Amino acid sequence: MQNLEKRKPVAKAKETREPFVIGGVSVAPGKRATIDLPISVLFDHTPMTLTVRVVHGREPGPVLLVCAAVHGDEINGVEVIRRLLRLTSLSKLRGTLIAVPVVNTFGFLNQTRYLPDRRDLNRSFPGSPKGSLTSQLAHLFNTEVVAKCTHGIDLHTGAIHRANFPQIRAVLTDPEVRKMAQAFGVPLLLNAKIRPGSLRGVGGDHGIPFLVYEAGEALRYDGTSIRAGFRGVVNVMRYLDMLPPPKREERKADMLDKEATVPVKAQVIAQSSTWVRAPAGGLLRDPVRLGALVEPGTRLGIIADPLGNAEKRITSEVSGVVIGRTNLPVVNQGDGLFNIAQVSDADSALEAVDIFRDDRESESSDNEE
């Protein structure tokens, strides 16, 4: 009887991915592309575009949007995305990364928060193809970019002359959003309601889990905020299984050799925040630092008139962490001076802030690119 050889198992073919298409441009698996979506033409005939960088991994996975400068003067996120696109491990990406370093090109060029029509892009979503310039940009970004994603991270700073302590703002009652927020690894998570017309809101309309990272001040690079943002985005990508665990040499090359992530058990969740406003106009001095833990009666600063005739001591009425403050000493009555996230566990808040500060104070900004 003839001996029959065992049939060798046929190797299963790898699943082939479809190209990723945006703005009519097709990006093949394992490739990268820069795509310019036309917005408008300026009065001097200069074309304006929305520039999108797509990294389409060879293996299937989530489609993550990381964007910055929705407010044109908030530039820390631009540097976060620059570093992200140089990440060594992006060659092993699973899924697709859509990076938009500058959403509001008009504001970015003119170093202003708004577009030429003075409207706030982050209050104009979902937009309209026949509306104002801001509304048209919102519509373009929503339909061509946001609607094609499965997850999103929107990078922000405080407004001009106002700085924010690194924090995540999100709807933390959503389980997936909460896990993403915790993976990001900053000390404080603010359970923030969605504002009408916001990018986070339109993301929610598409069923996309969305985070807003707030840190630093408009028109200023802040090393701590940038490092925390960069590491946070990478942490979320690892949580989503888009990136493999880094090898030691990759961590060093990507400036991630010193992990500065606040562990989940040390993170603090705040359910609300409140602004402390100036009781009178004058000159603000000795303001409390960002990240300070305060309680009712804690002195936040002193307002004095220029002639030295009167001083007003500003104190906190709540317990919490200072997550935002003005950097401008000249204040008018009613100006927002300090933003305090109200927390129930003061000891945990202090521990989270201390971990964050210790990690970053041990780093040398001289090694940054």
Neighbours of 194 (CB within 10 A): 17
Residues 313, 279: Cα–Cα separation, whole Å: 9
Q: Which residue has the tokens 């899924």?
A: 95
Residue 3's pLDDT is: 46
HEC assignment per residue over 214-280: EEEECCCCCHHHHHHHHHHHHHHHHHCCCCCCCCHHHHHHCCCCCCCCCCHHHCEEECEEEEEECCC
Collect all residues with Cβ–Cβ distance below 8 Å to 119 and sequence separation of at least 6.
Answer: 132, 133, 134, 135
Contact 238, 245 (CB under 8 A): yes
The mean pLDDT values, 10 residues at a time, for the chain of 369 residues are 44 69 96 97 93 97 98 98 97 98 97 96 98 98 98 97 97 97 96 96 97 98 95 97 80 55 88 96 96 95 93 95 96 97 82 74 45
Structural domain boundaries in the chain? 20-261, 271-361
Contact 320, 345 (CB under 8 A): no
Amino acid at 30: G
Residue 216's pLDDT is: 97
Residue 125's pLDDT is: 98
Residues 227, 204: Cα–Cα separation, whole Å: 27
Helix axes 223-239, 346-361, angle to 10 degrees: 110
- Looking at CATH, the fold of the domain delimited by 20-261 is given as Aminopeptidase (3.40.630)
Residue 264's pLDDT is: 87
271-361: CATH architecture: Beta Barrel (2.40)
Contact 301, 277 (CB under 8 A): no
Longest alpha-carbon distance in the chain? 114
Q: Which residue has the tokens 């892009």?
A: 121
